[in-house]
Amino acid sequence: MAQIDIDKIDKIERKMHHEEYQYLDLIRDIMENGSWEDGRNGRTQSIFGNMMRFSLKDEKIPILTSKKTAWKTCLKELLWFIRGKTNNNILKEQGVHIWDANAAPTYLASRGLAHYSDGELGPIYGHQWRHFNAKWEGDEDYSGEGVDQLQNIIDALKDPAQRTSRRLLMTAWNPCQLNEMALPPCHILCQFNVHNGNKLSCALYQRSADVFLGMPFNIASYSFLTHLLATQCGLEAHEFVYFIGNCHIYENAMDACKLQMTREPYPFPTVSIKEVKDNINHYQVADFEIHNYKSHEAIKVEMVA
């Protein structure tokens, strides 16, 4: 009788059950089956349509491990969205530069937005989340204007009579203001759902995803948001479900993707939030603690704006 290689079986089972392989398999699918397209900002290889599921149970958070993910940078951007902010200078002061290319004067001029003040990006995510369709007048105080989609969801999640609603949606896609945005939103619609009384899940639809650079942030960001809303509303984070339309890899990231696919993921870390604030706007990065995050080394690729 042939001897059974237990170590090999264990490795195969780990691979089958580790959720990060959904991401690595997407990279492989694009590289093996994707179409080459010339887009507005460069050449990409892409497929259309993908879906992933990540467990958030027991405080787990899917911060990808096959390359180091700058989760603090991701979290700073999320908190910027939550506060309804749209000026890139706020991020730059915190050492976050992911929006710099889209805030550059030459880029804004290409969008017909050369008149914007320094660092201003227009009515992007934060404006739509907290002041949907409020008339855009620059970096102003929009308190009480537009629709506060995020606060409406928080109010509903705190109410046992409303938290099972199938209408807990938040959208950043506003056709009335797309031309005023430095970059039309990529992650455009999320829905929150409560099952079994207190299990909170989030589903995100993203129209366009830079799989190598952007997608790890998108996965972490909406998982952070789900954990935060669960904490704020007295619920338990359960699952992040991710739907993507155009999944693409830029030509300059191909070698980096090949390297990343050779790496075996580590277990996902967990997240804890130190205390419940009286207002969603009051959370700081220091309120979040990440436990046992182990990753492979970072892989640097220049972002294409």
User: The CATH number of 6-69+152-175+185-291 is which of 3.40.47.10, 3.40.1260.10, 3.30.572.10, 3.40.50.1440?
Assistant: 3.30.572.10
Q: What is the pLDDT along the chain (305 residues), one digit of tens a residue?
A: 445 554 554 455 555 689 999 999 999 999 999 999 997 888 999 999 999 999 999 999 999 999 999 999 999 999 999 999 999 999 999 999 999 999 999 999 999 999 999 999 999 999 999 999 999 998 889 999 999 999 999 999 999 999 999 999 999 999 999 999 999 999 999 999 999 999 999 999 999 999 999 999 999 999 999 999 999 999 999 999 999 999 999 999 999 999 999 999 999 999 999 999 999 999 999 999 999 999 999 999 887 76
CB contact set of 250 (below 8 Å; sequence gap of 6+): 42, 43, 44, 210, 212, 213, 301, 304
Considering the entire predicted model, what is its pTM?
0.93
Q: CA-CA distance, 83 to 89, in Å (whole number)?
A: 14
Q: Is 176 an annotated catalytic residue? A: no
Catalytic residue among 74, 186, 202, 257: 186
